[in-house]
């Protein structure tokens, strides 16, 4: 498949993550091998099932966290904060920072030619939202009376409560604040949402339905209920030890994923439009693909799904195996997930003349849910800019079940292109390929 005549480039990036809220802070941490995983605090140790994680500590949710803003837009966002949950706030902040980085926070593009594709996790209410209503429904023996909830419990809930937790709200807020009237979609595909959103936005521009797309994803695995879900359904690193050493993708001694939170966003544009306004170009999007694979008993076949998307993205980009500079792996740090991913990579790239360098930023900040992919994409774009890859943190002992060429030091060149790979526990995989702009 040959590329269309229209070309799509990245002109702005923004993020909120455990390593900081700027591209410089992110790159500094990656370059210096600094982990964002740390103890969650005394209160967390007493009330939460996991005592460590990767929090975006510098993000307070105050208006100053949303980057440079025109006066009226700052006023509108400040007013809207009360109807945003934390994941939504992080997503809006990352996206506004990306628009500022692209030079679009003041001079607006054509509203009808500007759209949004944003990835999300599933959202859960904070338990505190229900406290007053629950108390109102207690009897004299402090037992909850279900029949009273509809008349006496709901009355104590904020009438705007639901708006905080709808997964389409980041895209909705961003469209309103920035007057983007073009295509708008929200993708709730967990960890593969960022790649899926970028792929959709890329196709929208290729077919001429928009010239500018704001694309990203936000998520968290640190919500108390999401922690419980993860512990019950997935492989999570628990127990004692140095928190910063817990996330160790593809290492023989990995113990499971680390839970985190964060968001990332990019502005992508049609090349002629970007060049016409003198935009800085981080890289070019050249292909995207998605796949899902399940067995006859509805069990996820993650390895097959990842193999499918790697093959598909290579075909869509019309490149040879040896033309790929590096692969940014999903790298969840789980026993089964890493082995399945490494197997898919090995099967697809087995005939390369030189081993394919593989890195994984989750080793620095764990699983940020849907937000992981966007932050990882920015990390690889920065690698292209700086001319070197960041190593997989905590990768000490190769695992025979993970036959990859893991990046172990900062002297490995990133090449001129990369593939980013992601997958959900349900077997939904997505991949995108970007290259250095020439």
The domains found in the chain, sorted by start residue, are 8-125+161-435 (3.40.47.10)
Matching residue, tokens 């980057």: 67
pLDDT tens-digit map of 58-82: 999 999 999 899 999 999 999 999 9
pLDDT tens-digit map of 116-174: 999 998 888 877 778 888 898 998 888 898 988 888 888 888 878 788 888 899 999 99
| pLDDT top residue among 209 and 230 | 209
* Spatial separation of the C-alpha atoms in residues 290 and 432, rounded to whole Å: 9
- pTM for this one? 0.93
Quote the mean pLDDT of the chain: 92
pLDDT for the residue 61: 93
pLDDT band at 2 (very low <50, low <70, confident <90, very high): very low
| Tokens found for residue 205 | 């521009």
pLDDT for the residue 43: 58
pLDDT tens-digit map of 160-187: 878 888 889 999 999 999 999 999 999 9
Section 267-271 average pLDDT: 97
pLDDT tens-digit map of 373-406: 999 999 999 999 999 999 999 999 999 999 999 9
* Spatial separation of the C-alpha atoms in residues 66 and 46, rounded to whole Å: 32
* Spatial separation of the C-alpha atoms in residues 225 and 127, rounded to whole Å: 9
pLDDT for the residue 42: 54
pLDDT band at 46 (very low <50, low <70, confident <90, very high): low
Lowest mean pLDDT among 223-237, 384-398, 404-418: 223-237
Matching residue, tokens 């007057």: 179
Section 189-199 average pLDDT: 96
């Amino acid at each position: 498949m040959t590329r269309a005549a229209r070309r799509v480039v990245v002109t702005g990036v923004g993020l909120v993550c455990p390593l900081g809220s700027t591209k410089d802070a992110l790159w500094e941490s990656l370059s210096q091998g600094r982990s964002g995983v740390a103890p969650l605090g005394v209160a967390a140790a007493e009330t939460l099932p996991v005592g460590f994680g990767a929090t975006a500590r510098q993000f307070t949710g105050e208006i100053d966290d949303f980057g440079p803003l025109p006066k009226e837009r700052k006023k509108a966002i400040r007013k809207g904060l009360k109807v945003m949950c934390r994941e939504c706030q992080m997503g809006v902040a990352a996206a506004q920072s990306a628009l500022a980085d692209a030079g679009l926070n003041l001079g607006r593009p054509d509203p009808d030619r500007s759209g949004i594709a944003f990835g999300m996790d599933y959202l859960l209410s904070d338990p505190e939202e229900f406290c007053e209503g629950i108390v109102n429904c207690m009897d004299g023996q402090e037992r909850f009376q279900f029949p009273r909830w509809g008349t006496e419990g709901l009355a104590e809930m904020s009438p705007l409560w639901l708006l905080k937790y709808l997964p389409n709200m980041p895209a909705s807020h961003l469209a309103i604040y920035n007057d983007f009237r073009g295509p708008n979609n929200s993708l709730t595909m967990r960890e593969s949402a960022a790649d899926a959103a970028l792929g959709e936005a890329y196709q929208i521009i290729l077919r001429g339905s928009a010239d500018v797309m704001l694309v990203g994803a936000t998520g968290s695995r640190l919500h108390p209920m999401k922690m419980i879900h993860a512990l019950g359904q997935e492989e999570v690193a628990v127990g004692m030890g140095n928190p910063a050493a817990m996330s160790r993708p593809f290492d023989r001694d990995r113990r499971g994923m680390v839970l985190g939170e964060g968001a990332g966003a990019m502005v992508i544009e049609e090349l002629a439009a970007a060049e016409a306004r003198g935009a800085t170009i981080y890289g070019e999007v050249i292909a995207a693909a998605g796949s899902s694979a399940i067995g006859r008993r509805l069990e996820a076949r993650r390895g097959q799904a990842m193999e499918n998307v790697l093959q598909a993205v290579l075909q869509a980009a019309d490149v040879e195996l040896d033309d790929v500079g590096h692969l940014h792996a999903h790298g969840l740090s789980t026993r089964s997930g890493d082995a399945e991913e490494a197997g898919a990579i090995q099967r697809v790239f087995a005939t390369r003349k030189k081993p394919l360098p593989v890195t994984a930023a989750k080793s620095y900040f764990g699983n940020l849910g849907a937000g992981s992919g966007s932050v990882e994409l920015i990390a690889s774009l920065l690698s292209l800019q700086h001319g070197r890859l960041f190593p997989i943190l905590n990768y000490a002992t190769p695992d025979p079940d993970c036959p990859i060429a893991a990046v172990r030091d900062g002297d490995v060149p990133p090449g001129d292109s990369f593939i980013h790979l992601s997958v959900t526990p349900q077997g939904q995989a997505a991949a995108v390929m970007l290259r250095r702009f020439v």
